[in-house]
Amino acid sequence: MRTDSLTRIRRRTPRIPLERYPAHLHPVVRRLYASRGLAPEAAELRGLDGLPPPDGLPGMEAALDLLEQALVEARRILVVGDFDVDGATSTVLVLEALSAFGHRALDHLVPNRFDFGYGLSPELVEVAARRDPWLILTVDSGIACHDGVRAARGHGIRVLVTDHHLPGETLPPADAIVNPKLPGSRFPGRDLAGVGVAFYLMLALRRRLRSRGWFERTGIAEPNLAELLDLVALGTVADVVPLDPVNRILVRQGLQRIRAGRCRPGIRALLAVANRDPRRVQARDLGFAVGPRLNAAGRLEGMDAGIACLCADSEDRARELAARLDALNRQRREIEAAMCREAETLLDLPGLGDESLPWGLVLFEPGWHAGVIGILAARIKDRWHRPVIALADAGDGMLKGSARSIPGFHVRDAIENIEARHPGLVPRFGGHAMAAGLTLASADLDVFRAAFDEEVRRCLAPSQLEGVIETDGELAPEYCNIELVESLDAAGPWGQGFPEPCFDDLFRVRSARIVGERHLKMQVQHNQGGSRLDAIAFFQGEALELARNGMVRLVYRPDLNEYLGRRSLQLIVERVLPEEAPVIEA
């Protein structure tokens, strides 16, 4: 069995000359921006005035016509969201914005993944129709819901789809569709999350209402939509969309509001149960602390508790709901750990060594929890560095799957190619390059497993299955200080498509011990000299023997440790590797 799929370090190199960046930037920050290909003119785009106007989003005018009519005529709008963080934040954002515009005939519906599955299905429309909406407004979904849109239209309900997922060859027959990825779209923020699309739609609607004299006529104070940016930042980071220049501005502005204490009680409460300081919150805190607790509701029960937490208008109610979400997240982690052990057992069977392991892994156990298979697929993908689809029993002879991919393999397109070669094999699927969802019949599992492996082998070279740790190279000892940490924090946000800084260097281990049963605590000294530094490698207790050899290569990020009012530098160690670990320049 493979013991560590991360076999090489690949260092990022500058793609843009460093001298083109503003001179006031920290030298390391200039290097990081250059290696990520950030345009020098975008390095200074931080405020909302750097955002492109909403005009370029396709479908916007038709969408505004529908919403304006609904407001003027007081027609009922039903917001249909998704059961993840992006869907929850999108739902809350639209409800709060429309309410601030003076609309009262509002309702929302988020499908339970176990009863209805993803998106606006015909079954969900039957539930929605009983609420007698004039308009269904989907957020973070709908672009692949042809049958559901047709069912709604059959009930005489108008449908406005707002989504950010890739459309298929045909579009659903909605009255209006707003999606930056529609064919022919020239909107510069093609990678908006669902909540970003919703935010832009509300910006455009406010402008339309302003031009019509709506606020003066109704006596409503024109709302400040910047107050919704905490939701935009959370949904964008949690949905792991690329942090292009547009998303970086949205996330940065949302983080600034949270740090300044100008965020909703629900987000504050979720940060508190995760032991995160709102004053120093970073994008990773939204992605790894707040997001999973909200997602736990959608994975195990339904997203109602998550939406209620985000909507809470009192600190007490927010803390109560955050505690409930925290408990669900602990339950989710227990389920995930058991499923991971079962998956590793499947992959450790005789005949499934490294050489014979399929290039594309399709894993299924009858008892697996349908709400956790996405996390399982991600864990196995990271462990074995190949595309993974994890499946759970969906009942009635069907399986529900969640796919996660590696760089260079567009998993949603791969599933579409399989369906094209085997018509009817995958009746439902959707997603994007790195993640997708699908359903298939239990009887077709073996056929699909072979087809998926064949597609991965067709698209990838063997070298792409070799695990790689990407870093920003060495960090000179004189730069390893608190000033750098503060500069990196200010230079963010960091995330998908704009990876958080991570360095690799040779260090001499001066001391090493296990703390908290599984964490490796070290004191290290840079091979080039400098002072001794504290370092912590979470959940890497097995690296103690390697650390005791004296010289190791650490993959790490510098961080600030605050304890009893004292601030000091510490290294957060991502990997402890042998001194001779191979290093290549990108």
Q: Identify whether the C-beta of residue 157 lies closer than 8 Å to the C-beta of residue 129.
A: yes
Examine the pLDDT at 60 and tell me if it is beyond 90: yes
Residue 135 banded pLDDT, cuts 50, 70, 90: very high
- Token digits of residue 500: 């958080």
User: How far, in whole angstroms, is CA 436 from its chain's centroid?
Assistant: 13
Percent of the chain whose pLDDT exceeds 70: 97
Task: Let me know if 515 is exposed, middle or buried by CB neighbors in 10 A (0-12, 13-18, 19+).
Answer: exposed
- Token digits of residue 175: 């009255």
Compute the CA torsion angle 369, 374, 379, 384 (nearest 10 deg).
110
Q: Identify whether the C-beta of residue 376 lies closer than 8 Å to the C-beta of residue 368.
A: yes
Fold classification of 56-224 is inorganic pyrophosphatase (n-terminal core) (3.90.1640)
Q: For 214-276, what is the HEC assignment?
A: HHHHHCCCCCCHHHHHHHHHHHHHHCCCCCCHHHHHHHHHHHHHHHCCCCCHHHHHHHHHCCC
- Token digits of residue 460: 């990838």
In the block, tokens 């950030």 appear at 38
- Token digits of residue 57: 């989003």
∠ CA 314-318-321, rounded to 5°? 145
| Amino acid found at 538 | F
Examine the pLDDT at 352 and tell me if it is beyond 60: no
| 128 three-class SS | helix
**What is the number of H-type helices and E-type strands within the chain?**
19, 18
Distance of alpha carbon 306 from alpha carbon 434, whole angstroms: 25
The domain defined by 6-36+469-585 carries CATH number 2.40.50.460: yes
Residue 349 banded pLDDT, cuts 50, 70, 90: low
pLDDT of residue 558: 95
Average pLDDT over residues 542-559: 91
Examine the pLDDT at 552 and tell me if it is beyond 90: yes
| Amino acid found at 489 | D
Examine the pLDDT at 192 and tell me if it is beyond 60: yes
Q: In this predicted model, what pLDDT tens digit does every residue of 26-56 receive, in sequence order? A: 999 999 999 999 999 888 878 898 999 998 8
Examine the pLDDT at 351 and tell me if it is beyond 50: no
Q: In this predicted model, what pLDDT tens digit does every residue of 373-392 receive, in sequence order? A: 988 999 899 888 899 999 99
Percent of the chain whose pLDDT exceeds 90: 72
pLDDT of residue 523: 94
Examine the pLDDT at 361 and tell me if it is beyond 80: yes
Reported as half-sphere exposure (CB side, CA atoms, 13 A), residue 30 has a value of 12
User: How far, in whole angstroms, is CA 583 from its chain's centroid?
Assistant: 29
Range with lowest mean pLDDT among 68-72, 404-408, 422-426: 404-408
Sign of CA dihedral 462, 446, 381, 5: negative
∠ CA 376-247-198, rounded to 5°? 85
Examine the pLDDT at 227 and tell me if it is beyond 80: yes
Distance of alpha carbon 14 from alpha carbon 32, whole angstroms: 8
**Rg, the chain, Cα only:** 25
In words, the CATH class of domain 348-465 is alpha beta
DSSP annotation of 498: B
Examine the pLDDT at 181 and tell me if it is beyond 90: yes
Burial 347-383 (b: 16+ CB within 10 A, else e): beeeeeeeeebbbbbbbbbeebbbbbbbbbbbbbbeb
Residue closest to 581 by CA, chosen among 6, 3, 1: 6
| Amino acid found at 52 | P
Distance of alpha carbon 479 from alpha carbon 123, whole angstroms: 58
Residue closest to 448 by CA, chosen among 469, 427, 418, 484: 418
More confident site: 557 or 466:
557
Backbone angles phi, psi at 253, to 5 degrees: -65, -40
Average pLDDT over residues 2-6: 42
pLDDT of residue 7: 65
More confident site: 464 or 201:
201
Q: In this predicted model, what pLDDT tens digit does every residue of 273-303 receive, in sequence order? A: 999 999 999 999 999 999 999 998 888 888 8
Examine the pLDDT at 5 and tell me if it is beyond 50: no
pLDDT of residue 581: 86
Range with lowest mean pLDDT among 140-154, 351-365, 483-497: 351-365
Q: How would you classify the pairing of strands 467-471 and 551-563?
A: unpaired
Range with lowest mean pLDDT among 121-130, 194-203, 319-328, 336-345: 336-345
Reported as half-sphere exposure (CB side, CA atoms, 13 A), residue 106 has a value of 17
pLDDT of residue 354: 56
Neighbours of 4 (CB within 10 A): 9
- Token digits of residue 212: 């019509």
Backbone angles phi, psi at 103, to 5 degrees: -85, 130
The domain spans of the chain are: 6-36+469-585, 56-224, 348-465
Sign of CA dihedral 456, 459, 465, 471: negative
